[in-house]
Amino acid sequence: MSQSLCQESIHVQVNEADRLHLKRFYTNPKGIPLFLIHGSIENGKIFYSSSGKGLAPYLAKEGFDVFVVDLRGRGKSVPAIDKHATHGLTNSIEEDIPAIANKIKEIKGDVPQHWVSHSWGGVILLAFLAKHSKEFKVGSMVFFATKRHISIRTLRRFYLIDMMWNIMGRYMVWKNGFLPALKIKMGADNESARCYKETNAWVYEPKWLDWRDRFDYAAALQNISLPPILSITGAGDKVLGHPTDCQYLLNEIKANNAEFKIVGKKSGNLQDYDHINILTHPDAARDQFVMTRDWILSHN
Residue pLDDT, tens place only, 93-116: 999 999 999 999 999 999 999 999
Task: Give how far Cα 44 sits from Cα of 47, 74, 239, 288, Å.
Answer: 6, 8, 22, 18
- What's the pLDDT tens digit per position in 34-71? 999 999 999 999 999 988 899 999 999 999 999 999 99
Mean pLDDT of the chain: 96
Whose CA is closest to 144, among 237, 27, 50? Answer: 237
Tell me the DSSP string of 123-188: HHHHHHHHHHTTSS-EEEEEEES--SS-----HHHIIIIIIIIIIIHHHHHHHHSEE-TTTTTSSS
pTM over 0.85: yes
Instruction: With beta carbons less than 8 A apart as the criterion, state whether 203 and 152 touch.
Output: no
Return the percent helix, strand and coil in the chain, to nearest 5: 40, 20, 40
* Beta partners for residue 35, in sequence order: 67, 115
Centroid of chain to Cα 196:
15
Report the percentage of the chain scoring pLDDT > 70.
99
pLDDT, residue 1, reads 36
Q: Is the pLDDT of residue 8 over 60?
A: yes
Please, what are the domains in the chain?
6-150+217-298 (3.40.50.1820)
Residue 2's pLDDT band (cuts 50, 70, 90): low
Tell me the three state secondary structure of residue 296: helix
Average pLDDT over every residue of 10-17: 96
**What's the whole-number mean pLDDT along residues 218-242?**
97
Burial of 68 (0-12, 13-18, 19+ CB in 10 A): buried
Is it true that the peptide bond before 98 is cis, omega within 30 degrees of 0? no
- Tell me which long-range contacts 156-162 makes (C-beta under 8 A, separation of at least 24): 156/238, 156/239, 157/239, 157/242, 160/239, 160/240, 161/203, 161/239
Distance, CA of 217 to CA of 124 (rounded, Å): 11
Average pLDDT rounded to a whole number, residues 13-39: 97
SS3 of residue 79 by DSSP: coil
CA atoms of 126 and 227, how far apart (whole Å): 10
**How far, in Å, CA of 117 to CA of 231, rounded?**
10
SS3 category, 33: strand
Each residue's pLDDT tens digit, 251-277: 999 999 999 999 999 999 999 999 999
145 burial level (CB within 10 Å; 0-12, 13-18, 19+): buried
Closest CA to 33 of 144, 143, 138: 138
What pLDDT digit, counting tens, does each position of 139-164 carry? 999 999 999 999 999 999 999 999 99
In this predicted structure, what is the pLDDT of residue 136?
95
Strand partners, 115: 35, 141
The percent of residues in the chain predicted with pLDDT above 90, rounded, is: 97
